[in-house]
Structure 1
Amino acid sequence: MPLALGTFIVPLIVACSMFMENVDATVIVTALPAMARDLGQSPITLKLAVTSYVIGLGVFIPICGWVADRFGSRNVFRTAIGIFMAGSLLCAASRSLEMFVAARFVQGIGGAMMVPVGRIIIFRSLPKSDFIRAVNYLTVPALLGPVMGPPLGGFITTYLHWRLIFFVNIPIGLLGIWLANRHIANMHEEHPGPLDWFGFILSAGGASLFMLGLSFVGGELVSNGKAVTMCVVGALLLAAYWLYAQRAERPVLDLKFLRIPSFNASVAGGSLFRIGLGAVPFLLPLTLQEGLGMTAFVSGAITCASAFGSIFMKSIVSHVLGRFGFRRTLIVNAALAGVSIAIYGLFTPGTPVWLIWLVVLLGGVFPSLQFSGLNSLAYADIPTKEIGRATSVASVIQQVSLGLGVTIAGIVLQVSHRIQGHSTIVWSDFWPAFFAVALFSVASIPVTMRLPANAGEEIARGRRGPN
């Protein structure tokens, strides 16, 4: 396959999986209030619908690199899409919160293999000089999910029924499987070695218990005592894994990659940034619907504006990073992103709809630039043969960070609601949550500042020129 064609086709195929995930995520958060009413739950409690998916990711992402090496990236990619589609159908059939959470967990299993293995396919198929161009080809089609998802989910929820939103994934998934069969080689390592089952149990159990415990804090499903106990046990398991990984020959999550400055800044610093940005898709639709009284359709039409801002930034991100470099761009942009998140908390019932739409549009610009830079920088100094193992580490931390954003935002929102003593959720309950998660995005700056001035220079040079 010619290089130029491969640089376009392979990311486009992987974008089908990202499109599925992004549509699914955006239609769900738009429909959360309606789902909560049907399932007899508070809209805040429905954060479990988001975090249960992340728990599925946290359990299975650590082994995605090994599974891809053992069975072939194309085989695993196709199977993952099938599992994700099955989870979607289970979500549509759910009649209780417990069943819905379990269905989202199944989707998480598919997502754990789908997107990370897709990234492995991309970074093993292309030279480093084409990484960021490939990322652009990958993310622009995937951004159509946030463009279409909110208004589509809002329309279906307002005028039809929220269960129908989960059927949107089916034709997309079938297309992704068909394209993978035609255009993706079944690449794998000949000798991936044995799977680190002990490390897998420690890391998966620790992440699951910690995230689930945080999600239960302040809720009504379990007592706060049990929730805190789950958090403590999960934290202890994660600490045990950290000690174990220092001595293991090939741990399931090899933390040695965090010693590489570019990888550390992308993953560790990026995790703080993602906590802030991960909360926005959960908080913003709730603010518009529960706080400002908008319908799901109007809310979706507003929240999709951020995707237009993201797409615009993708058209100039090569020139921005080429002109200012990774380090300076990521530092300044993190501050601007934090400010944009905090501004969301200032919306009131008197704020004009056009102004809200414009703010959300501008708010999509900064995450787009940051994610393009962080995702490309992560692999700048990783040997090609280690990309699969590095992807597992990066993907786990990234996805758990996004889930933590939702969980932290939900906890702050619950505390704010109770302190202010409102009988129902109102617009003034939301600003503390937006301000709190905005601080996490700003907190990524000190980590990025440790990068050398020329970090990612080879990739930045490769980005110059046409996109």
Structure 2
Amino acid sequence: MTAAPTHLKLQPEFYLLVFLVSIGFFMQGLDTTIINTALPAMATSLQEDPLKMHGVVISYVLAVAACIPLSGWFSDRFGVRNTFFAAIVIFTTASIGCALSNSFNTLIIFRVLQGIGGAFLLPVGRLAMLRIIPREQFLSAMSTMSLAGLLGPLAGPILGGWLVEYASWHWIFLINVPIGLLGMLVTFKAMPNVTEASVKSFDLSGFVLLAIAMIGMALGIENIASTEVSKSLSIGLLISGFIAALIYAYHAHTHQNALFRSRLFKNKIYSIGVLGNFFARFGSNAVPFLLPLMLQVAFNMEPFMTGVMLTPIVIGSLVSKPIIRPILQRTGYRSILIVNTLLIGLCIASFALHTADTPTWLRTLHFFVFGVINSLQFVAMNTFTLKDLPQQDASSGNSFLSMIMMLSMSIGIAVAGTLLNTFTNYFNQAHITQAFHYTLICLGLMNIVTMIIFLQIPKDFKD
């Protein structure tokens, strides 16, 4: 296999573009971390069970996953700048709608609309970097973007806890408004409106099949243990999702204008990376949803203190950024992905050792370690997956990866919610801590099994 070009430092001419993409990442990261801390308070305000509030998170993530296939075609047809600008407008407007919601169903509707805007933010921004920034500077650009974007998750837990405890949960959405306005102003200066010379007609039938597949699988898993939805309906949703996915696999192989042609998966590195991203994110993406609930519902911690306790995870992510590139260059993708996947699984399972009496210093250290290895995993997986894609497949390959990442998050949270409700029903509310512990152990074991995927990376693969 031909060695990839040496990784070079990002040049100053691309700083503003990376900053703009980071704004989109910032908005998504801030929204995610703030809402996780605020879920119990939102449940009380909307008269819902806090253990069933995962629908607020899944509705957003699933809307993102379902609409991501549109991002590549819209970017090619209307240009990356115009598409990115529209995404910021939709996301910001929907955030206002979420803040004004006075019922659970209304909030879900605006979360879906917010997800539609969010579906374009990060994939279109990453696509702009792929097309504009030279490949040898791409790893540096990704690391820089992730570093700047993590400022959102860093502020999110504390800011969310503070707003919930001293103001109102509605403000966790209004915080997106000034950030969105800044993004709108910067877009036309930082991002050229790169388009494709010729764009094929949109694959509407393929888009519908993908949407049915993702919605069916995610909602089927989410409701399988619910007492409010029949088992037959949940199983029917799961079966419909799998059937739609199989039909789309055939469609991708035979349809000339398929959103994601089957040729993408002839690239072995890309295929391994996509599978790894899908399964390795189940546990990692469920942890930010589970830990705030465990701290508040099981351990009776106040929202602000919960936000403070979650901050070490993001600090760990920030600390890891400068060392990711040297580690990858020294060890290679294969070694780091195999070992790190195992470590993350063990770390998630070991969260089950936490109780209300766990010393603060130990809990802080544990969360920090998780942040470090989780950040290393995400950057390594994303860069590994995209690094060998030919230029003509960059748009569809990037969009498919983004879709898989968000679908994995929605399914991971759905699995976590299902496991939590199942164990809660088994142990009853008096032993809610045990329900959280068993859920975390199951998620950790899932992550460890994922290591098998990264064992398929060729031993002679070079960075």
Q: If the length of structure 2 is used for normalisation, what is the TM-score?
A: 0.95
Partner of 2:450: 444
Q: Does the residue aligned with 2:386 lie in a helix, a strand or coil?
A: coil
| TM-fit CA distance, 1:14 | 0.1
1:155 equivalent in alignment to 2:173: no
| TM-fit CA distance, 1:210 | 2.2
The answer to whether the 8 Å contact 2:35/2:160 transfers is yes
Q: Which amino acid aligns with 2:255?
A: A
Match of 2:264 among 257, 265, 279: 257
CA distance in 2, matches of 1:254, 1:173: 34
Match of 1:224 among 208, 221, 231: 231
Partner of 1:240: 247
Superposition pairs of residues 421-460 of structure 1, within 5 angstroms = 421-423=428-430, 426-455=432-461, 457=463
| TM-fit CA distance, 1:50 | 0.9
Q: Which amino acid aligns with 2:436?
A: F
Q: Percent identity?
A: 33
CA distance in 2, matches of 1:299, 1:259: 45
Partner of 1:142: 149
CA distance in 1, matches of 2:45, 2:433: 23
The answer to whether the 8 Å contact 1:254/1:393 transfers is no
How has the CA–CA distance of structure 1 residues 222 and 252 changed in structure 2, closer, same or farther, with 3 Å as cutoff?
same
Q: Which amino acid aligns with 2:99?
A: A
| TM-fit CA distance, 1:59 | 1.9
Partner of 2:3: none
CA distance in 2, matches of 1:116, 1:224: 35
* Stretch of structure 1 that moved more, 248-257 or 105-114: 248-257
How has the CA–CA distance of structure 1 residues 398 and 219 changed in structure 2, closer, same or farther, with 3 Å as cutoff?
same
Partner of 1:410: 417
1:22 equivalent in alignment to 2:26: no
Partner of 2:6: none
Q: Which runs of 5+ in 2 are unaligned?
A: 1-8
Q: Does the residue aligned with 2:353 lie in a helix, a strand or coil?
A: coil
How has the CA–CA distance of structure 1 residues 456 and 164 changed in structure 2, closer, same or farther, with 3 Å as cutoff?
farther
Partner of 2:174: 167
Q: Which runs of 5+ in 1 are unaligned?
A: 458-467
CA distance in 2, matches of 1:78, 1:265: 33
Q: Which amino acid aligns with 1:335?
A: L
How has the CA–CA distance of structure 1 residues 126 and 351 changed in structure 2, closer, same or farther, with 3 Å as cutoff?
same
CA distance in 2, matches of 1:220, 1:91: 27
Q: Which amino acid aligns with 2:314?
A: A
1:192 equivalent in alignment to 2:202: no
Cα shift readout 1:374-412 (whole Å, capped 9, x = no counterpart): 111122211122211111211111110111111101111
The answer to whether the 8 Å contact 1:91/1:163 transfers is yes
The answer to whether the 8 Å contact 2:10/2:140 transfers is no
Match of 2:284 among 265, 277, 286: 277
Match of 1:131 among 129, 138, 148: 138
The answer to whether the 8 Å contact 1:22/1:142 transfers is yes
Cα shift readout 1:79-124 (whole Å, capped 9, x = no counterpart): 0011111111111111221111111111110111111001100111
The answer to whether the 8 Å contact 2:73/2:202 transfers is yes
1:370 equivalent in alignment to 2:377: yes
Superposition pairs of residues 25-104 of structure 1, within 5 angstroms = 25-104=32-111
Partner of 2:5: none
CA distance in 2, matches of 1:123, 1:216: 38
CA distance in 2, matches of 1:163, 1:312: 31
Partner of 1:106: 113
Q: Does the residue aligned with 2:300 lie in a helix, a strand or coil?
A: coil
Q: Which amino acid aligns with 1:449?
A: L
| TM-fit CA distance, 1:176 | 1.2
* Stretch of structure 1 that moved more, 346-355 or 22-31: 346-355
Partner of 2:324: 317
The answer to whether the 8 Å contact 1:58/1:208 transfers is no
Partner of 1:393: 400
Q: Does the residue aligned with 2:51 lie in a helix, a strand or coil?
A: coil
Partner of 2:4: none
Q: Which amino acid aligns with 1:219?
A: S
Q: Which amino acid aligns with 1:215?
A: E
Q: Which amino acid aligns with 1:387?
A: A
| TM-fit CA distance, 1:441 | 1.9
Partner of 1:331: 338
* Stretch of structure 1 that moved more, 25-34 or 372-381: 372-381
Q: Does the residue aligned with 1:294 lie in a helix, a strand or coil?
A: coil
How has the CA–CA distance of structure 1 residues 7 and 182 changed in structure 2, closer, same or farther, with 3 Å as cutoff?
closer
| TM-fit CA distance, 1:443 | 2.1
Q: Does the residue aligned with 2:50 lie in a helix, a strand or coil?
A: coil
| TM-fit CA distance, 1:235 | 1.9
How has the CA–CA distance of structure 1 residues 30 and 165 changed in structure 2, closer, same or farther, with 3 Å as cutoff?
same
The answer to whether the 8 Å contact 1:57/1:109 transfers is yes
CA distance in 1, matches of 2:115, 2:446: 25
Cα shift readout 1:319-371 (whole Å, capped 9, x = no counterpart): 10011011101111111111111111211111112211111011101111111
Q: How many residues align?
A: 455
| TM-fit CA distance, 1:313 | 0.7
Partner of 1:347: 354
* Stretch of structure 1 that moved more, 214-223 or 54-63: 214-223
Match of 1:292 among 277, 289, 299: 299
Q: Which amino acid aligns with 2:68?
A: I
| TM-fit CA distance, 1:454 | 4.2
Cα shift readout 1:60-91 (whole Å, capped 9, x = no counterpart): 11121011000000000010011111111111
Q: Which amino acid aligns with 2:233?
A: K
The answer to whether the 8 Å contact 1:36/1:46 transfers is yes
CA distance in 2, matches of 1:341, 1:16: 29
* Stretch of structure 1 that moved more, 386-395 or 16-25: 386-395
* Stretch of structure 1 that moved more, 250-259 or 40-49: 250-259
Partner of 2:311: 304
